[in-house]
């Protein structure tokens, strides 16, 4: 049994991790996944679980986030639970607390009214801003969860009040809430980027039955049904245009701002927006199998897989906090008991230590960093299924490519013509076009597209397809042969060959050789930038695996300067080659496979990070891949790697900075050099700097 819930107003990435980990302890919950990006909780519950599932979820959620509203998911509610309430009340709340704090500082100065007023103002500011922190600490203690950042802050600030450091106690809560506020702003920005992808979900479909059009739910439309899409409406389902012509805005799917033209017989993807003409579309996929549904599912499950550093921080805090508390108790009790001294001074040092040691900077900035990285990638049409895959992208050593549809366009095209015996290229192409008029073979279609004119079929007769060789036709009294070398040899026609890579189509008329047309799969223009860019980014080796012939593959590899090539491979042989490469790479580095088709799904799943190139065209690629590039541009991979590395750099900057400052001030606090205000900087000051540093990811 699967249950899904929306956690409305969930704004703390670290709390999301804690909620997920706590729910996983319930043996009746076989699988738990909380996606912070969508605030969506998914549970697989054993059938023999008799308790109220929602009550249990609410109990756990409210341990960490008392204000979060738990909403049971239904088929009508699939949108991201974005922050629906205004942020203005929080701004007012923070402003009032800050004014009270600043007023307290003013009353502390000489020549003003009274220290009692200052105390009252600090107490008011502390209660207003720190109530939730203290409440969480008490709630956690009653539930047997003592040691966390809420407990540390509560003990440290109450201790500060005991020793008369009222301003310091209030300052800790003020700056902590300011840091939390900026974290929420960053979360809202990232969610907005990710939620933009969710706007592709259609609200309705215009179903046409017997000339009558009615609005229906997209889920109720079947394959083969006819739908009408008017200007300004979203394409609700995948299909083929049967009538009409229009420009489509596909930016929500691909990140590309340039509209593309569609007309009769063109395939069309759901999620695009019809900009101009009315389109009549025959549905080819049900809503559950459509592109828009696949992408929505992918987005809803993004960020469900945590990076190593994300899971590390919760484990780190679990052990770190009790160690700090024990150390603080020892500093407060041991020196005055064994060596003498003033108890107040040592208690003061222990409280300073507690304030310094709160891991707020880490618990705020690390989850936010990876979430921001996923949001920054989404803005560029790159869907990353989890923080762990951002880590994998940042550590790439080998990148393995499929050829057709990935580095090449996957479409046959005439790339060269070589006329012979005094004939012109125009005569060569015309003869080939006359012969291929009746064929639906991709090679024939590419010749007809290159010819670009209509053929008078009345002048054609005796059309014959010769299996494995080509075709023969009588055109305007001339016998034209079009095919491979075997056809020429079998008809005793002398021909010439060239070294151009691709499929060779030889043409002869009345026994005289006219020339050769070369047809090949065209390399994508940005494949050159992608391969050279990977080299510039320090990727050690690029590899191409293809089922195409060795000669064709060698030509593509040489053109793109790919380091290693394996051709004429079956799908299972691609898997074997990737297994070999995984064994060759450094154990701390990763291997990425970039592919686009159903045949690539096994390799996409096997690689450390599977990247679906042009994944919109392949459901299997979307499901098997860890990263989906929403366009057919290989150079998008470079953007993905740069975002991943920038995210990693920011996260490690925060870790090193926070721990370095804390270690330094722990030492200073233990020997009595650091005061309560240095402690405030070491805790919440560092937290603010870390959060502001993380904001850079969102602006990448």
Look at residue 83 and tell me whether its pLDDT is greater than 50: no
Residue 546 and residue 478 share a domain? no
Answer whether residue 643 is part of any domain.
no
**Rounded to whole angstroms, how far apart are CA atoms 90 and 266?**
51
What mean pLDDT is predicted for residues 388-400?
A: 92
Q: What are phi and psi of 123, to 5 degrees?
A: -65, -45
**Rounded to whole angstroms, how far apart are CA atoms 327 and 419?**
88
**Rounded to whole angstroms, how far apart are CA atoms 190 and 387?**
14
Tally of domains in the chain: 5
Answer whether residue 376 is part of any domain.
no
Answer whether residue 248 is part of any domain.
yes
Answer whether residue 613 is part of any domain.
yes
Residue 422 and residue 396 share a domain? no
DSSP letter at 684 equals: I
Top pLDDT among 256 and 419 is at: 419
pLDDT band at 1 (very low <50, low <70, confident <90, very high): confident
Top pLDDT among 321 and 506 is at: 506
Residue 610 and residue 657 share a domain? no
Look at residue 218 and tell me whether its pLDDT is greater than 80: yes
Q: What mean pLDDT is reported for the chain? A: 81
pLDDT at 301: 55
pLDDT at 303: 47
Say which range, 111-115, 266-270, 548-552, 677-681, has the weakest mean pLDDT.
111-115
Q: What is the CATH number of the domain that holds 53?
A: 3.30.70.100
Residue 616 and residue 534 share a domain? yes
pLDDT at 13: 65
**Rounded to whole angstroms, how far apart are CA atoms 384 and 194?**
11
Structural domain span for residue 393? 387-407+524-625
Here the tokens at position 62 are 């409210």
pLDDT tens digit sequence for 190-216? 666 655 555 566 778 999 998 899 999
Give the percent of the chain with pLDDT over 70. Answer: 85
pLDDT tens digit sequence for 515-539? 999 888 788 889 999 999 999 999 9
Answer whether residue 298 is part of any domain.
no
Here the tokens at position 358 are 């709160």
Look at residue 150 and tell me whether its pLDDT is greater than 70: yes
Residue 564 and residue 459 share a domain? no
Top pLDDT among 653 and 77 is at: 653
**Rounded to whole angstroms, how far apart are CA atoms 241 and 227?**
10
Residue 122 and residue 178 share a domain? yes
Q: What is the CATH number of the domain that holds 483?
A: 3.40.1110.10
Active site residue 521: no
Here the tokens at position 58 are 């609410």
Look at residue 613 and tell me whether its pLDDT is greater than 80: no
Q: Which of 180, 225, 249, 402 is catalytic?
A: 402
Top pLDDT among 390 and 681 is at: 390
Residue 452 and residue 348 share a domain? no
Residue 401 and residue 276 share a domain? no
Q: Which residues contact 664 (CB under 8 A, 6 or more apart)?
A: 682
pLDDT tens digit sequence for 462-501? 888 887 788 999 998 899 999 888 899 999 999 987 777 7
Pairing label, strands 260-262, 69-72: unpaired
Answer whether residue 618 is part of any domain.
yes
Cβ(91)–Cβ(53) under 8 Å?
A: no
Q: What is the CATH number of the domain that holds 260?
A: 2.70.150.10
Residue 553, SS3 per DSSP? helix
pLDDT at 498: 76
Residue 190 and residue 311 share a domain? yes
Say which range, 289-293, 338-342, 482-486, 489-493, has the weakest mean pLDDT.
289-293
Top pLDDT among 614 and 698 is at: 698
Q: Which residues contact 532 (CB under 8 A, 6 or more apart)?
A: 561
Look at residue 75 and tell me whether its pLDDT is greater than 50: no
Top pLDDT among 614 and 150 is at: 150
Answer whether residue 372 is part of any domain.
no
Give the percent of the chain with pLDDT over 90. Answer: 24
Residue 172 and residue 119 share a domain? yes
Residue 418 and residue 508 share a domain? yes
Say which range, 223-227, 457-461, 627-631, has the weakest mean pLDDT.
627-631
pLDDT tens digit sequence for 676-697? 778 777 777 787 788 788 888 8
**Rounded to whole angstroms, how far apart are CA atoms 337 and 496?**
102
pLDDT at 76: 43
Say which range, 28-37, 109-118, 230-239, 649-658, has the weakest mean pLDDT.
109-118
Residue 396 and residue 341 share a domain? no
């Amino acid at each position: 049994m699967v249950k899904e819930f929306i956690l409305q107003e969930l704004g703390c990435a670290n709390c999301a991790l804690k909620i997920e980990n706590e729910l996983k302890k319930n043996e009746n919950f076989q699988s738990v996944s909380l996606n912070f990006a969508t605030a969506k909780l998914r549970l697989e519950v054993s059938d023999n679980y008799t308790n109220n599932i929602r009550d249990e979820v609410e109990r756990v959620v409210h341990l960490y986030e008392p204000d979060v509203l738990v909403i049971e998911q239904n088929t009508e509610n699939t949108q991201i639970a974005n922050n629906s309430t205004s942020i203005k009340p929080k701004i007012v709340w923070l402003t009032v607390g800050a004014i009270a704090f600043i007023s307290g500082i003013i009353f502390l100065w000489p020549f003003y009214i009274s220290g009692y007023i200052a105390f009252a103002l600090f107490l008011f500011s502390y209660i207003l801003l720190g109530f939730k922190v203290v409440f969480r600490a008490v709630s956690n203690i009653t539930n047997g969860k003592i040691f966390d950042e809420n407990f540390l802050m509560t003990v440290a600030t109450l201790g500060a009040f005991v020793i008369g450091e009222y301003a310091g106690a209030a300052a800790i809560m003020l700056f902590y809430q300011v840091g939390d506020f900026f974290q929420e702003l960053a979360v809202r920005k990232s969610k907005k980027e990710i939620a933009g992808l969710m706007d592709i979900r259609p609200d309705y479909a215009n179903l046409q039955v017997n000339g009558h059009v009615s609005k229906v739910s997209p889920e109720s439309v079947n394959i083969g049904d006819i739908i009408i899409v008017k200007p300004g409406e979203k394409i609700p389902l995948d299909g083929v245009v049967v009538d009409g012509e229009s420009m489509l805005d596909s930016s929500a799917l691909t990140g590309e701002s340039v509209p593309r033209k569609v007309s009769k017989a063109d395939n069309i993807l759901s999620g695009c927006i019809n900009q101009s003409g009315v389109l009549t579309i025959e549905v080819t996929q049900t809503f559950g199998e459509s592109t828009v549904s696949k992408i929505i599912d992918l987005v809803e499950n993004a960020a469900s897989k945590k990076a190593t550093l994300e899971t590390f921080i919760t484990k780190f805090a679990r052990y770190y906090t009790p160690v700090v508390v024990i150390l603080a108790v020892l500093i407060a009790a041991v020196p005055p008991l064994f060596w003498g001294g003033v108890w107040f001074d040592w208690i003061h040092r222990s409280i300073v230590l507690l304030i310094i040691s709160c891991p707020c900077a880490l618990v705020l900035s690390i989850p936010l960093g990876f979430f921001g990285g996923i949001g920054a990638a989404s803005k560029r049409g790159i869907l990353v299924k989890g923080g762990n895959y951002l880590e994998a992208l940042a550590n790439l050593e080998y990148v393995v490519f499929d050829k057709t549809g990935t580095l090449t366009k996957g479409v046959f095209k005439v790339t060269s013509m070589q006329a012979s015996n005094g004939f012109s290229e125009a005569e060569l192409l015309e003869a080939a076009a006359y012969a291929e008029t009746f064929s639906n073979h991709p090679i024939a279609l590419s010749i007809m597209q290159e010819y670009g004119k209509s053929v008078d079929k009345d002048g054609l007769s005796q059309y014959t397809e010769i299996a494995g060789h080509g075709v023969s036709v009588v055109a305007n009294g001339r016998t034209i042969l079009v095919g491979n070398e075997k056809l020429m040899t079998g008809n005793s026609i002398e021909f010439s060959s060239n070294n151009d890579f691709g499929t060779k189509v030889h043409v002869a008329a009345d026994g005289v050789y006219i020339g050769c047309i070369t047809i090949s799969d065209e390399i994508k223009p940005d494949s050159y930038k992608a391969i050279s860019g990977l080299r510039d980014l320090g990727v050690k080796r690029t590899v191409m695996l293809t089922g195409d012939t060795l000669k064709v593959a060698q030509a593509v590899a040489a053109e793109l300067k790919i380091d290693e090539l394996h051709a004429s491979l079956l799908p299972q042989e691609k898997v074997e080659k990737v297994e070999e490469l995984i064994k060759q790479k450094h154990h701390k580095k990763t291997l990425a496979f970039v592919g686009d088709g159903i045949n690539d799904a096994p390799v996409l799943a096997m690689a450390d990070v599977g990247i679906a190139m042009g994944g919109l065209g392949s459901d299997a690629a979307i499901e098997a891949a860890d990263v989906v590039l929403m366009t057919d541009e290989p150079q998008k991979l470079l953007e993905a790697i740069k975002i991943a590395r920038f995210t990693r750099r920011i996260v490690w900057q925060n870790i090193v900075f926070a721990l370095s400052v804390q270690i330094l001030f722990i030492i200073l606090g233990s020997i009595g050099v650091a005061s309560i205000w240095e402690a405030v900087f070491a805790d919440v000051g560092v937290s603010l700097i870390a959060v502001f540093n993380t904001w850079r990811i969102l602006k990448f």
